Amino acid sequence: MGKKVEFYYDFSSPYTYIASTRIEKICEDNGAELEWKPFLLGGVFNEIGSIPAVQIDNKFRYLKRDFEESARYYGADFNFPELFPLNSVRSMRGAFAALEQNKLVEYNHEMFRLYWIQGIDLSKAEILGEAVSKIGIDSEWFVHRIAEQEIKDNLREETNIAVQRGVFGAPTMFVDEKMFWGNDRLDFLDRYLKGQV
């Protein structure tokens, strides 16, 4: 039986978007099970006292160029959005609602596409509702569901678990409790799954 890859993601992270275009094939090639783990990156930053890169001018100037070069290198469509950073709370809550409808993978890819290719503001409930209707989720149900306390608690709990496991950024992957951080470590993950490290 293959290994399980836990993929912690937040739609607000450009490197996570790029990784999301690669992770499924890596898992498929290695016979590994992929488990998408939605969490709130901003919540992790608040908990551990980390400063987002957007608040560090020199770093962010470099990273904006690197985002584009990385996307081009890995063959991912990419347009840096005018609205950045994204308030991803609603869209990340939506992942738990999509999971209830067995539409999590479709939802993830649609959200990443809307934000990192089309620049759509995923913080607005009405935009999310319109988007999910295109993947077969009832819009009215979805908008109500992501406002319910149970869904809010699910996101908070998953974020707390991520912090407890040592997560400090996105994307973060776990295999056998071994942690890999960043899109550029997917190659290391691939080698680990192949038993080469």
Max Cα–Cα distance, the chain, nearest Å: 48
DSSP 149-194: HHHHHHHHHHHHHHHHTT--SSSEEEETTEEEESGGGHHHHHHHHT
- pLDDT over 70, % of the chain: 99
- pLDDT over 90, % of the chain: 96
CA 43 – CA 87 distance, rounded (Å): 11
CA 86 – CA 123 distance, rounded (Å): 7
In angstroms, the first-to-last Cα distance of the chain is: 19
Task: For residue range 19-35, list pLDDT tens digits in order.
Answer: 999 999 999 999 999 99
The model's confidence at residue 197, banded by pLDDT at 50, 70 and 90, is confident
pLDDT at 101: 98
Residues 128-137: what's their mean pLDDT?
98
Residues 117-141: what's their mean pLDDT?
97
Helix residue ranges per DSSP H, the chain: 14-20, 23-29, 41-48, 57-74, 89-100, 104-116, 125-133, 139-145, 149-164, 186-193
Query: Which one, of 7, 37, 41, 40, lies nearest residue 156 by Cα?
Result: 40
pLDDT at 74: 97
pLDDT at 108: 98
User: Which residue in the block uniquely carries the two structure tokens 């620049």?
Assistant: 119
Task: For residue range 75-119, list pLDDT tens digits in order.
Answer: 999 999 999 999 999 999 999 999 999 999 999 999 999 999 999
pLDDT at 43: 97
Q: Hey, what's the torsion of the CAs at 84, 89, 95, 97, to 10 degrees?
A: -140
pLDDT at 116: 98
* 95, burial (CB in 10 Å: exposed 0-12, middle 13-18, buried 19+): buried
Task: For residue range 36-79, list pLDDT tens digits in order.
Answer: 999 999 999 999 999 999 999 999 999 999 999 999 999 999 99
Query: Is residue 172's pLDDT more than 90?
Result: yes
Query: Is residue 149's pLDDT more than 90?
Result: yes
Question: Class assignment of domain 4-193?
Answer: alpha beta
CA 151 – CA 156 distance, rounded (Å): 9
Q: Is 51 helix (H, G, I), strand (E, B) or coil?
A: coil
Residues 133-141: what's their mean pLDDT?
98
Residues 178-189: what's their mean pLDDT?
97
Task: State both tokens at 116.
Answer: 């990192």
The pTM (predicted TM-score) of the whole model is: 0.96
Domain ranges of the chain: 4-193
pLDDT at 1: 64
